[in-house]
Amino acid sequence: MLNKEDFKICIVGLGYVGLPLAARFSLKGFNVVGFDTNKERVDQLINNIDINDDISIENLEILSKNAKLTTYIDDIKESNIFIVTVPTPINEDKTPNLVPLISASELVGSVIKKNSIVIYESTVYPGVTDDICTPILEEKSKLIFNEEFSTGYSPERIVPGDKVNTIEKIKKIVSASNETSLNIISFLYSAIIDAGIHQASSIKVAEAAKVTENIQRDVNIALINEMHQLYTSLDISTLDVIEAASTKWNFMKLTPGLVGGHCISIDPYYLMHKSEVSGYVPNIMRSARKINDEMGNWVLENFIKFTKENSIDLKTTEITIMGYTFKENCSDIRNTKVHDLAISLRDQGFKVMIWDPYLDSKTINNLKHKNISSSNQLTKNVELAFVCVYHKEILNFLDLYNGFIYDFRKLNKIS
């Protein structure tokens, strides 16, 4: 019989993934320590402040009251379950950047003791847990893998900004390096995930499943983006086409857009890297990434065409970019493609103003240093609305706005 009291859980990384996870374990009565190297972040959470707005204030208060939130390594040494939730970004050349994961593995390896289990949730290509992280844990701990400690992998599936499909409502994939650990990991996640769990046959299968989820979405969005460019050139409404096509039950209803964020626009490069190293050329994945990466260039060209067709003088007209985050009704700005659009417009000498109700003071200051004005409040008249993100506040504004509206997803209709 497994009991909650037998486990002391340390969540390594208190960001978009780690914080909801720590809160959920704490809410369900587990002994939890939340660790992060960012002291400012930890201090904010202790004071019930979450700038990412990932969990409710009630759950944040429960977490800060019942769990230990810390930046000190000594505070995690009594833990026997370590769940690593650090980011896995890419380098400038689009290759995987495993530095955060390697650093976290070195840290955990330096404190784990016999019978510990280290579970990774960070998105990686198949083989990272076994081939990169586990040897680091062995070296740092001087423990024998699968005899004195074991590993697991349970990919995160949290969608930033989604208040409906929250962590407990999304089925969890679990995997482990041995059957005993798989039973323990299954017990832990079953206690916090109402939707249940799925036991993958191996850690590599679980790793592959995660990147496959996001790559499938990336490929399908690329197809819609390509069709949108075609239909726009033919003066056909893409949205009307989608509405018509979606009357068939098996049509996947997606809409064109700028693909940013920390998942769909990043994860494909991990599997593409592994594929190319293995000698296989992933043609569809590469083509999809190229289409989505270059969508911003098409939007910019289409915008210039729109202004010429409507006799808008960009030398004297200020462009108000509406929305900056990578998706609607969410404060997450990671890898937002709107940033690239703003930089391109600035470099062409146009007057640009960004309005996004979810902008914080840090982002506003960072944009200011790049000579781009921005605000989370609309304080002056809009001459030309360049719609990028469908925040509810932006849609409400557009309902009452009578000026020029450029919205690349709605075929540039003018109010």
Domain-embedded: residue 206? no
Q: What does each C-alpha distance from 349 to 282, 307, 346 come to in angstroms?
A: 39, 15, 5
Nearest CA among 90, 51, 23 for reference residue 263: 90
> Both 253 and 302 in a single domain?
no
Tens-digit pLDDT profile for residues 126-137: 999 999 999 999
Catalytic residues: 263
CA separation for the pair 14, 20 (Å, rounded): 8
Which of 291, 324, 357 is the C-terminal boundary of a domain? 291
Q: What is the pTM of this model?
A: 0.92
Domain-embedded: residue 406? yes
Tens-digit pLDDT profile for residues 219-245: 999 999 999 999 999 999 999 999 999
Domain-embedded: residue 415? no
The structure tokens listed for 70 are 């810390």
The CATH number assigned to the domain holding 87 equals: 3.40.50.720
The structure tokens listed for 310 are 């409507």
CA separation for the pair 32, 276 (Å, rounded): 40
- Please give the residue range of the domain that contains residue 237: 211-291
Domain-embedded: residue 31? yes
Q: Are 167 and 193 in contact (CB under 8 A)?
A: yes
Number of domains in the chain: 3
Mean pLDDT (whole number) for 94-108: 97
Q: Which letter, b or e, does each residue of 363-382 get, where b requires 16 or more Cβ atoms within 10 Å of its Cβ? A: bbeebeeeebbbbbebeeeb
Domain-embedded: residue 205? no
323 backbone φψ class: left, alpha, beta (φ>0; ψ -120 to 50): left
137 backbone φψ class: left, alpha, beta (φ>0; ψ -120 to 50): alpha
Name 234's Cβ contacts closer than 8 Å, sequence gap at least 6: none
Which of 165, 181, 200 is the C-terminal boundary of a domain? 200
CA separation for the pair 374, 379 (Å, rounded): 11
Q: Give the pLDDT confidence score for residue 411 in this predicted structure.
A: 45
Q: Give the pLDDT confidence score for residue 163 in this predicted structure.
A: 77
Give φ, ψ of 10 to 5 degrees. -115, 120
Mean pLDDT (whole number) for 305-313: 95
